Structure 1
């Protein structure tokens, strides 16, 4: 344990020495004029030309002076911007548009795993459906042709029963 504590103290001393050296370098850089960036040098040149004006112009915002000269320097009171207009604009921008009309509920529902197979077979099924309807219609016509006599007699018999019951 004593060994570990000794190492930690040594590291702390080294760290302190490095920080001390770093501070000294920073102080030296501040003292040297060559180390200043160009922006700072330009600002310093402007200040040297205006040595006559050492203070900034007074602007009185909250203080109401009694002196006439100071009253001229008083800044007029600022009028607050209309918050209502900004709030209305933000509320209008935040309103959701009616997306419900555009959304189809079929697209929202989860699809079955075989939906792509059904999609691919749909064209073929349409052709088969048309052929099936034609075949059914043809079979019904054949039955009606074969049973025209039976049909006519059946219709006649029904009419007779209706007349007899009345």
Structure 2
């Protein structure tokens, strides 16, 4: 019932826009800070995460440590470009409401990567807001460029009339 409300209700599209804009600002700020600094290097972050793999209750699980050690660190230069530009583009997509579901999915992927690496910061609240936006589907980008871009690309939104009925009456 709640998911249906998120996906179909006009009021929900306004609430989702607020969630989307919050996430977009956070991602753009994080990405732009790294891009504008001139040189971003994630290898120190990855090495710090690897230090948290050991012990009785490791903050970083061994399987993630293996990924960092065997994939991410040897390809740090690729990650040094992907992280700041990924953050910035996710934020831009969310701010514009363009390819919203893809943008929020990529943002959630990065949030989980940071959480897997043993950091908390704003990631849990961004995951929660991102999950709500993702669950809403097309309604999350309805007040944004998705309304026109998706139509232009031939991927039409479902032809259903948005309701203004309260959550308790939609069944």
**Larger RCO of the pair (alpha carbons < 8 Å, separation 6+):** 2
Structure with larger Rg: 1
Into which bin does the TM-score normalised by the smaller protein fall? under 0.3
Return the TM-score normalized by structure 2: 0.22
